[in-house]
Amino acid sequence: MKTRVGRNLGFPPPVLWGKVRVGGTLTYGFTLIEVLVVLIIISIVTSVAMLSISHNQNQRAKLLASALTESLTLAEEQAILQQATLGLVIMPNSFQFVHYHEKSQGAVTDWQPLEARVFKKQPIPSGVGIRLEIAGKTITLAKPSSNTKPEIIISSGGELTPFIMWIGSAGHAASYKIVGEANGHVEQSAVMP
């Protein structure tokens, strides 16, 4: 009787699905090697997808930081040109520019949304968080309502409320920082971990 090394040990090879001939019978299943190869491929694809999602959220945070910086600079110019007092309202899921409006009935004042498209309500991308600090204190972001007062005020002379805004993936350390100074200078920078 001839025996082949590793072939005739009395045990069938490990099989889950597929066709394997053991002795004279045909067995269906996948070999253990085939299953391991598939698991390795799935783990590689999952790793690439997770890295892609992380990079995508960081990219969204970067785009939001750039958009806010540019919008604040544009709002300063608008306040100077129109000789108006403007404000920035930041809510957990959006931000919007408003202007100071004195009602005709006397000293009652009100903040109204700006009509220009560039200053209208803009969404904050999902998965991106904002933390606002004014005078060293973290400010609780406003809940959406019709009579929301702005956290950052821009005067008709171009000055604004000094602030630091931290932007990054929600629940993680901030990736970007926007610093607004009293003289109206607004600067965005990446935060080094």
C-alpha distances in angstroms, 24 versus 12, 20, 41, 96? 12, 10, 33, 76
pLDDT of 154 over the 90 cut: yes
pLDDT of 7 over the 60 cut: no
Residue 12 has a pLDDT of 56
pLDDT of 97 over the 50 cut: yes
pLDDT of 172 over the 70 cut: yes
CATH number among 3.55.40.10, 3.30.920.30, 3.50.50.60, 1.20.1250.20, domain 35-190? 3.55.40.10
pLDDT digits (tens, 9 = 90+) for 22-76: 566 666 667 778 888 888 888 888 877 776 666 677 888 899 999 999 999 999 9
pTM: 0.69
C-alpha distances in angstroms, 7 versus 12, 13, 21, 29? 9, 9, 11, 18
Mean pLDDT computed over every residue of the chain: 81
Give the domain ranges of the chain.
35-190
Residue 187 has a pLDDT of 95
pLDDT level of residue 185 (50, 70, 90 thresholds): very high
> Higher-confidence residue: 181 or 7?
181
Residue 3 has a pLDDT of 46
